[in-house]
């Protein structure tokens, strides 16, 4: 798959897809970080048609995130972390569905393991822009700085991290 080929679709644009009747529709639910601070609201669900499932939440971030005094030109404390420039209008982020818990009693999505600072420093995008693999990778890298995932998603499949690393490096 080419890096710019569309592979994620908003649930709203897929007439033959809907939220399962036994699952809550989390669109418009508040999203909170690991410290229970408001991050924003779920704007849409992003579907991978090949996997036939929702893989990301599209979150419109709260102004507290947008207004965070993060200097994208500043020298990062960890030189392995890439810095990004978020332009005016870039007010959305994606969150992998596996990194959240749902609280249906309070219509809240809890992003466990991701703090407010990480959200503030994560690359955002403009609503309606296509999401490519490069953006996905950048976001996942920013979320997993200290806690690498146990599963990796590549080529429309989930792999255990150690199995994925063994296979990837053995192919070289």
| Domain locations in the chain as residue ranges | 8-170
Q: Rounded to whole angstroms, how far apart are CA atoms 143 and 163? A: 21
- Of 44, 48, 18, give the one whose Cα is nearest residue 31: 44
Backbone angles phi, psi at 120, to 5 degrees: -65, -30
113: confidence class by pLDDT, cuts 50, 70, 90: confident
Q: Which CATH number fits the domain 8-170, given the four candidates 3.90.50.10, 1.10.1660.10, 3.40.50.1950, 3.40.640.10?
A: 3.90.50.10
Task: Write the CA distances from 10 to 59, 86, 154, integer angstroms.
Answer: 12, 22, 19
pLDDT digits (tens, 9 = 90+) for 116-153: 888 888 888 989 888 888 888 888 888 876 554 444 44
- What's this model's pTM, rounded to 2 decimal places? 0.72
pLDDT cut 70: percent of the chain above it: 69
DSSP state of 52: T
pLDDT digits (tens, 9 = 90+) for 7-44: 899 999 998 888 888 889 999 999 999 999 999 999 99
């Amino acid at each position: 798959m080419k890096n710019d080929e569309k592979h994620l679709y908003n649930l709203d644009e897929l007439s033959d897809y809907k939220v399962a009747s036994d699952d809550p529709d989390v669109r418009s639910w508040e999203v909170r970080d690991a410290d229970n601070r408001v991050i924003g609201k779920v704007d849409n669900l992003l579907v991978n048609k090949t996997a036939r499932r929702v893989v990301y939440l599209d979150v419109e971030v709260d102004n507290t995130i947008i207004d965070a005094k993060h200097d994208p030109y500043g020298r990062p404390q960890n030189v392995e972390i890439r810095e990004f420039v978020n332009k005016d209008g870039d007010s959305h982020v994606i969150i992998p569905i596996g990194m959240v818990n749902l609280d249906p009693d309070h219509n809240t999505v809890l992003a466990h393991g991701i703090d407010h600072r990480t959200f503030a420093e994560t690359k955002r995008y403009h609503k309606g822009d296509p999401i490519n693999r490069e953006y996905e990778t950048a976001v996942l890298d920013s979320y997993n700085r200290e806690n690498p995932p146990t599963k990796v998603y590549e080529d429309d499949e989930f792999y255990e991290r150690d199995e994925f690393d063994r296979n990837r490096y053995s192919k070289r």
